[in-house]
């Protein structure tokens, strides 16, 4: 028989969602001695965090709060979390953006100037140097940029180990427990109702990834997180042929775009297991799970342009996930003044694995009443009401 939550059980923190974000929040909150409960409608990590890639990138970020969070998170991955690096296959492999036309090289050079001004370490490299880094890359390349700080992890291992360490420190994890509503005392959020009973908590944190908008609606607040679907192709395992994370200059434009239609640009990376992961597409089609052959075709064709040897490589499988997209491309992190007691940590779109640890740490600091390492105002959920008023 499935256990049912006692209606009297109470925690300091209740986290909705056990993806990378929920796991990082649980990890950092338990490290502060807070009592933590995590509920998920599915298995641990069964949402987007198991349907993605694990790039930790600074190279694709525009300057602003997201870049600040990426830099902060990178310091955590490389610093206080480095003792666990082997658990989640952390590799500081560096990223390379390849330009195959003079016009895209000129745009890349413009982007580099701005990135350097914002403290991103990047080096322009010529074709000879590019070939030294990536001997198998296209002969069409006219130039490239190398980002030594871009890194990679295995997302499921990150999620599973952060959650395990939180559980070992006392967090209670409730998989297959769907949040169906909120317990209220006037405007205040006091807990959640679920398919396994009620859970009370001082702080309820919406870490429901692409479902974050739906969960917010249950509490009567607008947080416009929507799914943005992306496909990834997985090759047969092989001897290493791609050594860094390599992508084409157009990828940056796609990441920053709000276009709902299908967009695709090549992103190619090797993995410790030998398979090459080939991404990626972006399209806003709700939670549609119907196979889109056009997306997969475009990804494959683009990847072959970047690495011609891939034309002779077998694809073992493909998968897709739903990125938690928000219209202004800034994650939603912090307390919701419209429903006191409710916090959000969602909307990390295509960067939630990389940004998970920074998000988890600043949420834990704020919930524990500490000064946060980054200002939460930059990520506030309240901005959406301001936006809708401004655009009305």
Q: Which residues bind ligand FAD (CB under 6 A)?
A: 16-22, 39-42, 46-49, 51-55, 178-179, 207-211, 215, 230, 232, 279-280, 321-324, 346, 348-354
Q: How far is the CB of 392 from ligand FAD (least distance, A)?
A: 29
Residue 58 gets which letter from DSSP? S
The residues with which 228 forms a beta bridge, in sequence order, are 323
Q: How far is the CB of 159 from ligand FAD (least distance, A)?
A: 7
Sign, CA dihedral 210-212-215-220, equals negative
- Residue 161 and residue 87 in contact, taking contact as beta carbons nearer than 8 Å: yes
CA dist 80 → 73, 205, 375 (Å)? 10, 24, 20
Q: How far is the CB of 295 from ligand FAD (least distance, A)?
A: 10
Residue 269 sits at the vertex; the CA angle it makes with 265 and 273, to the nearest 5 degrees, is 145
Rounded distance between C-alpha atoms, residue 325 and residue 244, angstroms: 26
Shortest CA distance to 336 belongs to which of 213, 205, 163? 205
Q: How many CA atoms lie within 13 A of 289 on its CB side?
A: 2
Q: How far is the CB of 360 from ligand FAD (least distance, A)?
A: 10
- Residue 95 and residue 245 in contact, taking contact as beta carbons nearer than 8 Å: yes
Within 139-262, where are the H helices?
155-168, 212-218, 250-256
Q: How far is the CB of 171 from ligand FAD (least distance, A)?
A: 15
- Residue 174 and residue 39 in contact, taking contact as beta carbons nearer than 8 Å: yes
Q: Which H/E stretch holds residue 245?
A: strand 245-248
Task: Give the residue with the Cβ less far from ligand FAD, 46 or 127.
Answer: 46
- Residue 345 and residue 354 in contact, taking contact as beta carbons nearer than 8 Å: no
Task: Give the residue with the Cβ less far from ligand FAD, 65 or 321.
Answer: 321
Q: Going along 65-135, which residue ranges are E strands?
A: 95-99, 123-125
Task: Give the residue with the Cβ less far from ligand FAD, 49 or 313.
Answer: 49
Q: How far is the CB of 130 from ligand FAD (least distance, A)?
A: 22
CB under 8 Å to 221, separation ≥6 — which residues?
Answer: 336, 338, 339, 342, 381
Q: How far is the CB of 362 from ligand FAD (least distance, A)?
A: 15
Q: How far is the CB of 232 from ligand FAD (least distance, A)?
A: 5
The number of beta carbons lying within 10 Å of the beta carbon of residue 189 is: 24
Answer whether the bond into residue 280 is a cis peptide, omega within 30°: yes
Q: How far is the CB of 314 from ligand FAD (least distance, A)?
A: 20
For strands 95-99 and 123-125, give the pairing.
unpaired
């Amino acid at each position: 028989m499935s256990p049912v939550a006692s209606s009297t059980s109470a925690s300091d923190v209740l986290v909705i969602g056990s993806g990378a974000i929920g796991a990082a929040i649980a990890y950092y909150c338990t490290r502060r001695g807070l009592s933590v409960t995590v509920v998920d409608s599915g298995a641990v990590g069964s949402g987007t965090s198991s349907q993605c890639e694990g790039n930790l990138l600074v190279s694709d970020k525009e300057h602003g709060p997201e870049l600040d969070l990426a830099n902060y998170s990178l310091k955590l991955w490389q610093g206080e979390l480095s003792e666990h690096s082997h658990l989640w296959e952390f590799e500081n492999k560096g990223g390379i953006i390849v330009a195959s036309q003079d016009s895209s090289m000129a745009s890349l050079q413009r982007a580099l100037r701005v990135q350097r001004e914002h403290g991103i370490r990047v080096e322009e490299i010529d074709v000879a140097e590019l070939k030294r880094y990536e001997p198998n890359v296209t002969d069409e390349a006219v130039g490239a940029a190398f980002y030594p700080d871009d890194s990679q992890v295995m997302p499921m291992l990150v999620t599973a180990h952060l959650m395990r360490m939180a559980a070992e420190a006392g967090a209670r994890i409730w998989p297959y427990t769907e949040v169906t509503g909120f317990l209220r005392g006037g405007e205040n959020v006091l807990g959640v109702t679920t398919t396994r009973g009620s859970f009370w908590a001082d702080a309820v944190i919406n870490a429901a990834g692409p479902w974050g908008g739906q969960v917010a609606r249950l509490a009567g607040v607008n947080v416009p997180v929507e799914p943005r679907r992306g496909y990834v192709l997985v090759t047969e395992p092989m001897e290493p042929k791609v050594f860094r994370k390599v992508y084409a200059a157009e990828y940056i434009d796609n990441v920053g775009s709000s276009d709902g239609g299908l967009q695709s640009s090549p992103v190619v990376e090797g993995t410790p297991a030998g398979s090459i992961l080939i991404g990626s597409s972006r399209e806003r089609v709700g939670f549609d799970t119907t196979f889109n052959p056009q997306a997969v075709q475009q990804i494959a064709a683009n990847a072959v342009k970047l690495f011609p040897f891939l034309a002779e490589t077998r694809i073992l499988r493909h998968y897709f996930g739903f990125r938690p997209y928000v219209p202004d491309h800034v994650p939603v992190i912090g307390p919701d003044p419209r429903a006191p007691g409710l916090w959000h940590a969602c909307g990390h779109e295509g960067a939630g694995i990389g940004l998970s640890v920074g998000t988890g740490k600043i949420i834990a600091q704020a919930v524990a009443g500490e000064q946060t390492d980054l200002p939460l105002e930059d990520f506030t959920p309240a901005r959406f009401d301001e936006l809708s008023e401004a655009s009305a």
